[in-house]
Amino acid sequence: MAAAISSAALTASAEGYQVNTLSARQNGMGHTGTAIKLGAESMIFNPAGIAYINNIIDAQASVTGIFAKASATCSEGKFETDNTPSTPISVNLAMSVYDNFKVGVSFYTPYGSGINWGVSWPGAVLNQKVSLAAYTLQPTLAWRPIKNLAIGAGVMVTWGNVNLDKGLVSASSFNAVLGAMGIPGQSDDTPASINLNGKAATTVGINAGIMWDINSRWTVGASFRSKMNMKVKRGVATLSYASDFTRSILQERLDILDKANFEASMPCAAVYNIGVSFKPTDRWLLAADLQLTGWKAYKELTVDFLSEKLEPYDQHLTKNYRNSMTYHLGAQYSVTDRLDLRAGMMVDTTPVNKKHYNPETPGMTKIEPSIGLSFSPVKNFSIDASLLYVAGLGENNASISYDDLLLGKSATFEADYKVHAWNPSIGLSFHF
């Protein structure tokens, strides 16, 4: 029952909620950056990159608007989400200590999104609405032991929160019970819902990388973000009913869950990146990144209530994710010393098992083209902008089994899903 809170809060780094829009500049290049010297932003893509800054201070900040829409087509019809925009941000500051030694700090939102399916759609017992955010503060060091080689590492200090609404009882199950009791009347409204609110405790991981200039034209890089275990140690459940009538029928069974506390945990998978960049001329920059996310580690979601009498409501849900790949391509052309134009493409493959498919994370393989530019109105300052479109390829016949609390038996929800989104970004860069 309460499993959805952890799934939404803590699978954020899966394809469905992974934020690959943390740089207004790099979004325009397909979010490449593992083998590009990006200044302070390199702390996100490859910490070794800040070792190449030539300035005393390098500062960058970006914000992205995510305007996403998902749809589910099931036996009852087609249903669409009504989502509020999400706004992931990043703020990065790097400084030179010595010519070959740099330090920096980065703050960004690696996970975060929201989805709203409505209160009484057919999949309400799985998810009605979710809002989540995760935050990372990353102090970073980078060093060049030799001129063309750099290494860097940062400590990822991550925390977050989630707020989720889901139905406890489906309208069809409630109507069946009413019929068995000889009570007339049918309703499509979800009779009882629960709000699940939790904070993920602070966890720590490592973001490390290496970058090597093969020559003046070619650069290669690799980075690694470690697995982290995110834990909700004391979430709170709050009940609500569609009406006094539904309360009178269901409260004896369900009120035990009101104000109940629970804990949940799951792994945030390790991420491996390799990349290459090439400058065929002084004005052109081409880049390609390959990203592997180790989601095969996500076998099961476990949720345990803190009261022994609620043990029958504990959840052990099979996930059986698979490792996923993301492919990045990007190009930049310097029209003048003040104007850069960019274009790129991402292909983001899904780790989600379609036989254990929850609509709170409507994962599917996505194709994501992008364009962008940077303009420097004055020396040492630039305005960055980009636009990325997310086109989901769809996931048909996706299903999930769940326990019907009212009828005491297993039920299955099956639907065809589609997703698309527009992601505009704006950023500022400054150095001296």
Angle (CA) 331-335-339 rounded to 5° is: 90
Q: How far apart are CA 141 and CA 153, in angstroms?
A: 6
Q: Are 102 and 94 in contact (CB under 8 A)?
A: yes
Q: Are 160 and 111 in contact (CB under 8 A)?
A: yes
Digit-coded pLDDT (tens) for 53-91:
998 999 999 999 989 899 999 999 999 999 888 888 999
Q: How far apart are CA 17 and CA 351, in angstroms?
A: 12
Paired strand residues for 348: 326, 366
Residue with the larger pLDDT of the pair 223 and 88: 223
pLDDT of residue 279: 98
Q: With bands split at pLDDT 50, 70 and 90, how would you rate the model's confidence at 392?
A: very high
SS (H, E, C) 329-364: EEEEEECCCCEEEEEEEEEECCCCCCCCCCCCCCCC
Arithmetic mean of pLDDT, 392-398: 93
Arithmetic mean of pLDDT, 13-19: 47
Q: With bands split at pLDDT 50, 70 and 90, how would you rate the model's confidence at 37?
A: very high
pLDDT of residue 132: 77
Angle between the N-to-C axes of helices 244-254 and 171-180, in degrees from 0 to 180, rounded to the nearest 10? 90
Domain parsing of the chain, residue ranges: 3-426
Whether residue 305 has pLDDT greater than 50: yes
Q: Are 160 and 202 in contact (CB under 8 A)?
A: no
Taken in order 243, 245, 246, 252, the sign of the CA dihedral is positive
Q: Pick from 178, 127, 145, 122: which is nearest to 9 by CA?
A: 127
pLDDT of residue 113: 66
Taken in order 270, 7, 401, 124, the sign of the CA dihedral is negative
Residue with the larger pLDDT of the pair 266 and 380: 380
Whether residue 16 has pLDDT greater than 50: no
Paired strand residues for 8: none
Q: How far apart are CA 351 and CA 151, in angstroms?
A: 30
Residue 87's φ and ψ, nearest 5 degrees, are: -135, 75
pLDDT of residue 188: 86
Paired tokens of 134: 């995760």
Arithmetic mean of pLDDT, 363-390: 95
Paired strand residues for 302: 265, 316
Residue 180's φ and ψ, nearest 5 degrees, are: -65, -30
Q: With bands split at pLDDT 50, 70 and 90, how would you rate the model's confidence at 7?
A: very low
Q: How far apart are CA 79 and CA 101, in angstroms?
A: 54
Most distant CA atoms of the chain, gap in Å: 83
Digit-coded pLDDT (tens) for 267-294:
778 899 999 999 999 999 999 999 998 8
Q: Are 391 and 366 in contact (CB under 8 A)?
A: yes
Paired strand residues for 427: 62, 384
Q: What would the DSSP string read from start to end of 235-271?
A: EEEEEEESSHHHHHHHHHHHGGGTT-EEEEEEEE--E
Paired tokens of 6: 């952890």
Arithmetic mean of pLDDT, 176-199: 86
Range in 99-113, 136-150, 246-260, 302-316 the model is least confident about: 302-316
Confidence (pTM): 0.90
Q: CATH assignment of 3-426?
A: 2.40.160.60
Task: Identify residue 311 by its one-letter amino acid code.
Answer: E
Q: Pick from 17, 7, 62, 63: which is nearest to 38 by CA?
A: 62
Q: With bands split at pLDDT 50, 70 and 90, how would you rate the model's confidence at 112?
A: low
Q: Pick from 264, 275, 267: which is nearest to 293 by CA?
A: 267
Whether residue 5 has pLDDT greater than 70: no
Paired tokens of 401: 């089994």
